Amino acid sequence: MKLYLKIWRQEHRESKGDMVSYEVEGISEHMSFLEMLDLLNERLIKKGERVIEFDHDCREGICGACGMMINGRAHGPLSGTTTCQLHMRSFKDGETVYIEPFRAAAFPVLRDLKIDRSAFDHIIQSGGYVSASTGQAPESNSILIAHDTTEAAFDAAACIGCGACVATCKNSSAALFTSAKITHLVLLPQGKLESADRIIQMVNQMDEEGFGHCSNTEACEVECPQEISALHIGRMNYEYNKALLIRK
Amino acid sequence: MIDAKIPEGNLADKWSNYKDSSKLINPANRKKLDIIVVGTGLAGSSCAATLAEQGYNVKSFCFQDSARRAHSVAAQGGVNAAKNYKNDGDSVYRMFYDTIKGGDFRSREANVYRLAECSMALIDQAVAQGVPFAREYAGYLSNRSFGGVQVSRTFYARGQTGQQLLLGAYQALMRQESLGKVKTYTRHEMLDLVLVDGKARGIIARNLETGEIERHAANAVVLATGGYGKVYYLSTLAMGCNTSAIWRAHKKGAFMSGVSWIQFHPTCLPQIGETQSKLTLMSESLRNDGRIWVPKKAGDDRVPNEIPEEERDYYLERRYPTFGNLSPRDISSRAAKERIDAGCGVGPMKNAVCLDFSKAIKEQGRNKIEEKYGNLFRMYEKINGVDAYKEPMLISPAAHFTMGGLWVDYNLMTTIPGLFALGEANFSDHGANRLGANSLLQSCVDGYFIAPYTIPNFLSAELKGAKVTADHPAFDEAEKLVREQLNRFLNVQGHLSADHFHKTLGKLLYDKCGLSRTKESLKQAIVEIKALKKSFDHDLKITGDDQVNSELEKAGRVSDFLELGELMCYDALQREESCGAHFREEFQTADGEAVRNDEDFCYVSAWEWMGEDSEPELHKEPLVFETVKLTVRSYK
């Protein structure tokens, strides 16, 4: 099939970008979306043009590197799916497809569709861990955790850090990302002693990075490829207020 | 002959003896020592975090935009440990023996024993970090089985065990970053190793955003850069996985071992088209409940569900009744290839076999299967648009894990003093075939528990020497060569993309140095790779500039893959036996089983780089088995 692509091209962090049109023929429905871009890039090389830069790595939906706005939706039209897992059978012959980077003040564009998501690393650095240095661990079965508790913690821990939640949020809020890590850790008995500090620091860091506030539209949950629940944001707010009280 | 520096004493005491006698560095002195860790997968992150916790200054490098994205993240099935929580006869010794046997008696006893010995502590550590391993209803940790063993020793977090373990290690790393003990350099690629007076003293790295070439000096360098299965282009690996860090170290004098021992994972999604970039892996854990079969009749064109039970050939259950569908990976992959080559393959390209859950769903109910493998079934549906609860999955073997890598001694130090290799980047623990769920284990054990003892042991002698800084002439020289190579890539201006060469190399290696090899195919492959290298030098085309440029990154990696591919063929050619993943067609029994030759090949091949135009030189490390008896590896 043939697609008409409009792709965001931008040289550097500071430069002004714009949408550039490309026509791509010979696309098979079995191709992944990124393989379709590979095909276009291969043709751009033949023509002597600079390729379209985009982040990607595992191409199996787990590393969180890929991510673009496709026709205005983070990771494209399917729910629970990363860009790399999206296949061309989801598109129609002759369709026009708009491809843009994940946009947020805290995610500057490096080039084309590549963005800087180090703000997420900073949020984890501010407290998204259990302070258990190597060698300190007790026997693993001495910490009993109910099956359902572990499963609930896992549901939150499954976040791949792609940034789709931020990109889709009208406020560019990182509340889903931050709350998922907070929920993962707060549900478990490990690291309980440091949880109040952790939550306050992570929430403060989220603000410092320039992410907006959550206004509960829950668009993040809709676009999250791991289908992380927006209820975690409620838990984060509850835990944050509790932490403030405890610290008083 | 090269010395593996295995400590004295009984097998079970070696590691304790080592730790008791290794040299220590007092906490005040540790902060005078700098360590570079390249790679942020499980081995790299865990090693960097642990060394930083001890008080060393660590610089951590990765080419990804965040340490959390390293390819350990994609490991699905689980991590082994000899906890014996199931009371089913497991022990450190049994795990050691399973691993030695699984590796077809081509690994070091002492290393493998240490791996099993440290496995329990790893589970403790991961749980303490908050890794949500699966739990029983009473709150105890749950286990499942993996290929090649008869006990349940695998700990798992749904089908995302690698992700959860990596997040644990990544968070430990981020904690050290916040404490100022680690400085992470993301979007940085190591392009050369710098040697001063024969010792590893730093690296040259390229900032993948600005294109800047940077120098970093240290007292020791750790390479934890993963495996090179991406040499086949189509593989289960991430697109960025590469051999460049270890290959460039190899060219600086570090030996490479077991280079052609590459595991083909039996349960991957088959190739369906020419533009495909990836063969997605479906966890081996599926083989706990899925049954593998092909039609009995060659060229059967019916869809799998229309083929009646009596016309199906459950070839693993038939050939290996004891282990059946849980036979080890090398054996399962070869058995699949044998059936596919015989014309019994299924799917549009007739290159796949069926993995069937109908019996398990009937016996256990759909809910149970969904709880165990839900994410894998969803992934299958996303990629293929097929509901595997209703029809069998189609699977096929794909290049997956490299048992080979940089040769390391018992300290995990390469033949270059001060250069350590951890995790999949080294060759050490898996012999000629790795057992499922031993990879996450090895990378973690190397990073959390071994290197943090052996590196200080090396560094204790470094305190007295003068501090090496990045203005040493050795850095000038290395930087100059790196710049020259990058300019060459940009200036060739031929007509073929880096991917073109990568795909051509991959196809060639699949056919001639893949699941099976012959003397003829390997000799031919060497000739063809040499020609391909020539073409690469003249015909490569890179567009764009020297800043963010994924094509320029690929060119460097493909250039290294081409040289590595050639060494793989030399390695496979020289080893005239079949062992583990290395199957030379000349050496097999009448019913197609591998014939190992312990008399002539019971050693580790360690290859030395002799320059572009010379053949590599072979060194041998004899494998001495003091505890186990070499037997024919049978899973029948």
| B493 occurs within a structural domain | yes
Cβ–Cβ under 8 Å, residues A102 and A163? yes
| B546 occurs within a structural domain | yes
pLDDT at B384 over 90: no
pLDDT at B373: 87
Q: Give me the residue label for tokens 């189609």.
A: B394
| B288 occurs within a structural domain | yes
pLDDT at B283: 83
The pair of three-digit structure tokens given for residue A185, joined into one six-digit string: 């850790």
| B416 occurs within a structural domain | no
Which residues of chain B lie closer than 8 angstroms to A58, CB-CB?
A: 69, 71, 73-74, 238-239
Closest residue in chain A to residue B175, using alpha carbons only: A125
B487 and B394 in a common domain: no
Domains of chain A by range and CATH?
Answer: 3-111 (3.10.20.30), 117-247 (1.10.1060.10)
The pair of three-digit structure tokens given for residue B9, joined into one six-digit string: 């004493």
Mean pLDDT of B470-487: 98
Last residue in a domain, options B400, B419, B447: B400
Tens of pLDDT along B589-604? 998 899 999 999 999 9
Candidates B54, B80, B178, partner chain A, best to mutate (most A CBs within 10 A):
B178
Q: Is B82 on the interface with A (CB under 8 A)?
A: no
Which residues of chain A lie closer than 8 angstroms to B238, CB-CB?
A: 57-59, 63
Q: Is B383 on the interface with A (CB under 8 A)?
A: yes
Q: Give me the residue label for tokens 């002959």.
A: B1
Instruction: Scan residues 30-49 of B and list those with Cβ closer than 8 Å to A.
Output: 46, 49
Q: Which of B103-117, B133-147, B406-420 has the lowest mean pLDDT?
A: B133-147
Q: How far apart are CA B166 and CA B131, in angstroms?
A: 9
Q: How far apart are CA B153 and CA B443, in angstroms?
A: 17
Last residue in a domain, options B400, B430, B446: B400
Supply the angle between the helices A175-187 and A147-157 in degrees, to the nearest 10.
160
Nearest CB to A110; choose among B184, B209, B272 = B209
CA distance A125 to chain B (A): 5
The pair of three-digit structure tokens given for residue B522, joined into one six-digit string: 């390997």
Selecting among B108, B158, B329, B633, the annotated active-site residue is: B329
B271 and B372 in a common domain: yes
Closest CA to B584 of B448, A69, B593, B160: B593
CATH number of the domain to which B359 belongs: 3.90.700.10
Nearest CB to B174; choose among A129, A132, A134 = A129
Instruction: Please indicate whether residue B329 is annotated as part of the active site.
Output: yes
pTM score: 0.97
CATH number of the domain to which B487 belongs: 1.20.58.100
CA distance A155 to chain B (A): 10
pLDDT at B635: 81
Tens of pLDDT along B280-289? 998 888 998 9
B272 and B383 in a common domain: yes
Instruction: Scan residues 492-521 of B and list those with Cβ closer than 8 Å to A.
Output: 495, 497, 499
Q: How far apart are CA A9 and CA A16, in angstroms?
A: 9
Nearest CB to B139; choose among A58, A62, A144 = A144
Report mean pLDDT in 10-residue bins for chain A, 248 residues.
Answer: 98 97 96 97 98 97 97 97 96 98 98 98 98 97 97 97 98 98 97 95 98 97 97 98 89
| B103 occurs within a structural domain | no
If pLDDT is split at 50, 70 and 90, which confidence band does B533 have?
Answer: very high
B377 and B490 in a common domain: no
Per DSSP bridges, beta strands B220-223 and B419-421 are parallel
Instruction: Scan residues 85-104 of B and list those with Cβ closer than 8 Å to A.
Output: 85
If pLDDT is split at 50, 70 and 90, which confidence band does B273 have?
Answer: confident
Interface contact flag, A63 B275, Cβ < 8 Å: no
Enclosing domain of residue B508: 479-611
SS (H, E, C) B517-531: ECHHHHHHHHHHHHH
Cβ–Cβ under 8 Å, residues B73 and A63? yes
Interface contact flag, A65 B65, Cβ < 8 Å: yes
| B324 occurs within a structural domain | yes
B522 and B395 in a common domain: no
Task: Classify the complex by whether its ipTM is higher than 0.85, answering yes or no.
Answer: yes
| B321 to B2, B294, B326, B635: CA distances (angstroms) | 41, 17, 10, 8
CA distance B289 to chain A (A): 21
Q: How far apart are CA B41 and CA B21, in angstroms?
A: 30
Q: Which residues pair with B148 in a beta bridge?
A: none
Q: Give me the residue label for tokens 């012999």.
A: B431
| B311 occurs within a structural domain | yes
pLDDT at B382: 84
The pair of three-digit structure tokens given for residue B539, joined into one six-digit string: 């015909």
Tens of pLDDT along B4-27? 999 999 999 999 999 999 999 999
Which residues of chain A lie closer than 8 angstroms to B71, CB-CB?
A: 57-58, 63
Cβ–Cβ under 8 Å, residues B574 and B519? no
| B514 occurs within a structural domain | yes
pLDDT at A67: 95
Q: How far apart are CA B444 and CA B429, in angstroms?
A: 13
Q: Which residues pair with B355 in a beta bridge?
A: B292, B393
Q: How far apart are CA A110 and CA A101, in angstroms?
A: 10
Closest CA to B234 of B281, B293, B187, B166: B281
Beta-sheet strands, E only, within B403-464:
405-406, 419-421
Domain count, chain B: 2
Q: Is B175 on the interface with A (CB under 8 A)?
A: yes
Q: Which residues pair with B200 in a beta bridge?
A: B195
Buried b (16+ CB within 10 A) or exposed e, B503-522: bbbbebbbebbbbbbbeebb
